Amino acid sequence: MIFHNYADIPISESSILHINNQMLLYSDKDLYHMGEYKISPNRVEAKDQNGNVVGTIFDPTPLILSKRKYKNLLIGIIGL
């Protein structure tokens, strides 16, 4: 979708949320938040064979800052 149509996709908040919705359509674990800003933390952690967390691989933007970060990104890209 994006690869073939990137030139026609407007850079906007609604476009980003729509793409998020489309990317998560087939992920059962993500049905509750697809097409929306995240509603829970989503840290990526490394676990050992017993399920114990042994490290953090990726610690994304905290939930409370996500919407603001997206808006700042859009301001930087298109100068809203």
10-residue mean pLDDT profile of the chain (80 residues): values are: 82 87 83 78 92 94 86 80
Neighbours of 56 (CB within 10 A): 10
In the chain, the percentage of residues whose pLDDT exceeds 90 is 20
CA distances from 48 to 44, 54, 58, 71 (A): 13, 6, 16, 37
Per-residue model confidence (pLDDT) at position 10: 87
Distance CA 59, CA 66 (A): 13
Q: Where in the chain are the domains?
A: 2-78
Q: Quick check: pTM over 0.75? A: no
